[in-house]
Amino acid sequence: MNRIQTLLNLAKEELYAAEILWENTLYRACISRAYYALYYTIQALLAAKNVNTRTHRGLIQQFGQQFIKTGELSQKLSRTLSETFDLRQLSDYDETIPITQQQAGKTLENARMFVSEATKWLENNQIQ
């Protein structure tokens, strides 16, 4: 199995974990796992272009440069990533902020869409 496929498998595993956590009303953990589904998906996309990053912010920046600014992927994915990153920061590092079922559900739905669209891009470009 190549690196891209390994990363996609990790993304799908994180997405599955997020679904289980949401079903069990563990909303903070759901958001964190949904974010990591995006994280591994973006790593797979960047690996397809031989781009490596060292930080989460670097990953986000390179995703924007390599896929959003070029028009290869939708601006909607950039917004989804930004919202998910911000909510994950709050849910993981600020215990005083309540996380709702609605927030976690929307984040999970967005993560499903993100992974699906990125996977389609990889398939359409015959990368995997």
- CA distances from residue 50 to 6, 23, 43 in whole angstroms, order as listed: 15, 37, 10
The model's pTM is 0.94
Per residue in 43-70, pLDDT (tens digit) is 999 999 999 999 999 999 999 999 999 9
Which pLDDT belongs to residue 70?
96
- CA distances from residue 40 to 19, 87, 100, 115 in whole angstroms, order as listed: 16, 17, 25, 9
Give the containing element (helix H, strand E) for 17: helix 3-23
Which pLDDT belongs to residue 126?
81
Which pLDDT belongs to residue 127?
73
Taking a C-beta distance cutoff of 8 angstroms, is the pair 103, 87 a contact? yes
CATH code, domain with 90: 1.20.120.330
Which pLDDT belongs to residue 1?
59
**Number of separate domains in the chain:** 1
Rounded to 10°, the helix 75-93/56-63 angle is: 170
Angle at 111 between CA 108 and CA 113, to 5 degrees: 115
Per residue in 107-121, pLDDT (tens digit) is 999 999 999 999 999
- The range of the structural domain enclosing residue 42 comes to 3-124
